[in-house]
Structure 1
Amino acid sequence: MKLEVLEKDGYYHIYNRGINGCLIFENDENKKFFLKQFSKYLLGKISIFGYCLMDNHFHLVIRLNDDEKIVTQAFSNFFNSYAKAFNKDIDRTGSLFEKHFKRIRLSDEVYLKQLILYVHLNPKHHLGFDFKEYKFSSYQAFISDKETKIEREEVLRLFGGLENFIFCHNQRKDFLTEKHTFE
Structure 2
Amino acid sequence: MANKREPFLPDNLYHVYNHGNGDENIFRSEGNYHYFLMKFNQYISPIADTFAYCLMPNHFHFALYIKEESKLTEHFKDKLSKNPQGFENLAGLISRNFSNLLNAYAKAFNKMFERKGSLFLDNIQRKKIKDENYFTHLIHYIHYNPVHHGFVRDLNDWKYSSYHAFLSEKKTRLERENVLQWFGGKNDFEKFHQWKPKVDFEIEL
Fold shared, TM-score > 0.5 on shorter chain: yes
Among residues 162, 178, 189, which one is paired with 1:154 in the alignment? Answer: 178
Which structure has more helix as a fraction of its residues?
1
In the alignment of these two chains, the number of paired residues is 175
Q: Distance in 1 between matches of 2:94 and 2:185?
A: 30
Please say if residues 4 and 123 of structure 2, whose CA atoms lie closer than 8 Å, have aligned partners that are also in contact: no
Shift of 1:128: 4.6
| Alpha-carbon spacing, 1:125–1:2, altered in 2? closer, same or farther (3 Å) | closer
Q: Deviations over 1:143-163 (max 9, x none)?
A: 111000000011111111111
Q: Contact 1:10/1:63 (CA < 8 Å) preserved in 2? A: yes
List runs of 5+ in structure 2 lacking aligned partners.
73-89, 200-205
Paired letter, 1:6: F
Do the aligned partners of 2:4 and 2:126 also contact (CA within 8 Å) in 1?
Answer: no
Q: Cα deviations across residues 30-81 of structure 1 (Å, max 9, x unaligned)?
A: 0110001100111121000000000000001100013422321111111100
Match of 1:111 among 116, 131, 134: 134
- Structure 1 unpaired stretches of 5+: 177-183
Q: Secondary structure at the match of 1:19?
A: coil
Q: Deviations over 1:12-32 (max 9, x none)?
A: 011010111310011111011
Greater RCO, 1 or 2 (C-alpha within 8 Å, sep 6+): 2
Matches within 5 A, 1:51-130: 51-65=53-67, 66=72, 67-129=90-152, 130=154
Match of 1:168 in 2: 192
Decide whether aligned partners of structure 1 residues 61 and 80 sit closer, same or farther in structure 2, where only a CA change above 3 A counts.
same
Counterpart position of 2:164: 140
**Correspondence for 2:50:** 48
Q: Secondary structure at the match of 2:104?
A: helix
> After the TM superposition, which segments of 4 or more aligned residues of structure 1 sit over 3 Å from their partners?
none
Partner of 1:36: 38
> C-alpha distance in 1, partners of 2:92/2:175?
23
Q: Contact 1:46–1:63 (CA<8 Å) still a contact in 2?
A: yes
Distance 1:2 1:140, change over 3 A: closer
CA distance in 1, matches of 2:28, 2:194: 29
CA distance in 1 between partners of 2:104 and 2:151 (Å) = 31
CA distance in structure 2 between the aligned counterparts of 1:143 and 1:4, rounded to whole angstroms: 34
The aligned counterpart of 1:20 is: 22
For residue 181 of structure 1, what is the aligned residue in structure 2?
none
How far has the Cα of 1:134 moved from its partner?
1.2
Residues 127-136 or 148-157, more deviating = 127-136
**Aligned-partner SS, 1:20:** coil
The CA distance in 2 between the partners of 1:25 and 1:2, in whole Å, is 22
Secondary structure of the corresponding residue to residue 6 of structure 1: coil
Other-structure match for 2:82:
none
